[in-house]
Amino acid sequence: MQEHMAINVSPGPIRPIHLISDYFPHFYPFAEPVPRTPDLLPAAAPANRSTPQRQHDPEPEADSDDSTALGTLEFTLLFDADNSTLHCTAHRAKGLKPPASGSVDTYVKANLLPGASKASQLRTRTVRGTRGPVWEETLTYHGFTHQDAGRKTLRLCVCEDPRLRRRRQAPPLGELRFPLRKLVPNRARSFDICLEKRRLTKRPKSLDTARGMSLYEEEVEAEVAGEERGRILLSLCYSSQRGGLLVGVLRCAHLAPMDANGYSDPFVRLFLHPNSGKKSKYKTSVRRKTLNPEFNEEFFYAGPREELAEKTLLVSVWDYDLGTADDFIGGVQMSSQASGERLHHWQECLGRSDCRLELWHPLDGVAPQLGN
């Protein structure tokens, strides 16, 4: 009777040991599920590290732990040299540090430095309610040349939507600066870079602060004195059917701000000198409150190419002011006496027929003196 009782009791403690190891393997390191776990984790990790489209740029320096706490920004840059454009695609941000208000509605703001901030300022849409916003939005700079790539820096800021805060301007959640000389033309590069604190410096006294400019600006922006007035994209074509010159005013980029709000109301004037009659002067429509206007307007000057070769085409950009004199922003003179790309553009146009040639030209800061 006692032996029979021992046989019945002995399987009792064995059964619960088997069941616990199945449902709670972390209590028993000798159970089967434990050695299978480390085989799965390393297999996924190298796949993420070996992705060629995401890489850290070694140039921007961070403040170690303090800067990495601000989060990271993933973006892609492409310098399209054939079309003179710079494309910046903002993908996503990770680990953003929320502001004191707790709001996490964010957007990305881009600027080209040095230069007037609003002349090159672009921004994405606002993504609401997350610390890991995904934008997947491309910002495009027109009129971006090889010279710009060699001397300019792209500043990207992750900002809180100012419409959700009572104060006028909320500080960025973090920023980064990328020297564009690192880009290879016509080749896209992707980055995942830590955000840093915004750096401010006092604006030099030589710059005008009476037009609503802040006393403190980013340290690279403070070098804006003597910066270019902007640039204009012109198309020239000698039409054999119409017997004259077609001048297209396509767009301007990075114009100098002339108004107190930091913008301009630009329009373009055209004057063919010497020429008589009203058909020698044209002007485009006015584009309100912008430093990167798009016109896409075309004008015609009749005459044989031999006569046009002896004339000068004056192209000037102005800021429209109601009730007062318009402010001159910059101008370009196209003639056989010009030099560089202006001369090449003029000669190529008159040397061919029915061939439209487009080219960007930097604006001079001196107003034309050959007529009004």
* Residue-wise pLDDT tens digits, 23-80: 444 444 444 444 443 433 333 333 333 333 444 444 444 333 444 578 999 999 999 9
Nearest to 283 by CA among 271, 291, 273: 271
In a domain, 312, yes or no: yes
In a domain, 210, yes or no: no
pLDDT digits (tens, 9 = 90+) for 253-289: 999 889 888 889 999 999 998 876 667 899 999 999 9
Q: Which residue has the tokens 């140039």?
A: 59
Q: Which residue has the tokens 């989060």?
A: 71
Q: How far is residue 236 CA from its own chain's centroid?
A: 28
* pLDDT of 142: 94
CA distances from 45 to 14, 38, 190 (A): 39, 12, 19
Mean pLDDT to the nearest integer, 335-345: 93
User: Same structural domain for residues 134 and 93?
Assistant: yes
Compute the distance between CA of residue 321 and CA of residue 258 in angstroms, rounded to an integer: 10
User: Same structural domain for residues 234 and 185?
Assistant: no
User: Same structural domain for residues 178 and 270?
Assistant: no
Compute the distance between CA of residue 193 and CA of residue 176 in angstroms, rounded to an integer: 8
In a domain, 252, yes or no: yes
In a domain, 238, yes or no: yes
Question: 154 with 107: CB under 8 angstroms?
Answer: no
CATH number at residue 136: 2.60.40.150
User: Same structural domain for residues 319 and 264?
Assistant: yes
Compute the distance between CA of residue 184 and CA of residue 80 in angstroms, rounded to an integer: 9
User: Same structural domain for residues 185 and 248?
Assistant: no
pLDDT digits (tens, 9 = 90+) for 140-158: 999 999 999 999 999 999 9
User: Same structural domain for residues 142 and 253?
Assistant: no
What global pTM score does this model have? 0.69
Compute the distance between CA of residue 359 and CA of residue 123 in angstroms, rounded to an integer: 26
In a domain, 52, yes or no: no
User: Same structural domain for residues 235 and 174?
Assistant: no
User: Same structural domain for residues 180 and 295?
Assistant: no
User: Same structural domain for residues 135 and 189?
Assistant: yes
Compute the distance between CA of residue 18 and CA of residue 13 in angstroms, rounded to an integer: 9
User: Same structural domain for residues 249 and 347?
Assistant: yes
Listed range (11-15, 92-96, 344-348) with the worst mean pLDDT: 11-15
The 8-class DSSP code of residue 186 comes to: T
* pLDDT > 70? residue 355: yes
Listed range (70-79, 125-134, 199-208) with the worst mean pLDDT: 199-208
In a domain, 216, yes or no: no
Contacts by residues 269-272 (CB-CB < 8 Å, ≥ 24 positions apart): 269/314, 269/315, 269/316, 269/317, 269/318, 270/299, 270/313, 270/314, 270/315, 271/313, 271/314, 271/316, 271/368, 271/370, 271/371, 272/301, 272/311, 272/312, 272/313, 272/314
Mean pLDDT to the nearest integer, 241-262: 92
Going by pLDDT thresholds of 50, 70 and 90, the confidence category of residue 160 is confident
Going by pLDDT thresholds of 50, 70 and 90, the confidence category of residue 129 is confident
Contacts by residues 149-152 (CB-CB < 8 Å, ≥ 24 positions apart): 149/79, 149/86, 149/180, 149/181, 149/183, 149/185, 150/180, 150/181, 151/181, 152/112, 152/113, 152/114, 152/115, 152/180
User: Same structural domain for residues 252 and 134?
Assistant: no
Q: What percent of the chain has pLDDT over 70?
A: 67
Compute the distance between CA of residue 152 and CA of residue 133 in angstroms, rounded to an integer: 27
Q: Range of 79's domain?
A: 71-199
Listed range (183-192, 193-202, 363-372) with the worst mean pLDDT: 363-372
Per-residue tokens: 182: 């690192």
Greater confidence, 255 or 2?
Answer: 255
Going by pLDDT thresholds of 50, 70 and 90, the confidence category of residue 169 is low
In a domain, 61, yes or no: no
Nearest to 296 by CA among 285, 310, 312, 305: 285
Q: Which one-letter amino acid corresponds to residue 322?
A: L
Mean pLDDT to the nearest integer, 123-131: 91
CA dihedral 253, 256, 262, 265 (to 10 degrees): -70
The 8-class DSSP code of residue 100 comes to: T
Number of domains composing the chain:
2
Q: Which one-letter amino acid corresponds to residue 159?
A: C
* pLDDT of 102: 61
Environment class of residue 57 by beta-carbon count within 10 Å: exposed (0-12), middle (13-18) or buried (19+)? Answer: middle
Going by pLDDT thresholds of 50, 70 and 90, the confidence category of residue 118 is confident
Mean pLDDT to the nearest integer, 90-109: 82
CA distances from 252 to 98, 147, 269, 293, 359 (A): 38, 17, 13, 5, 11
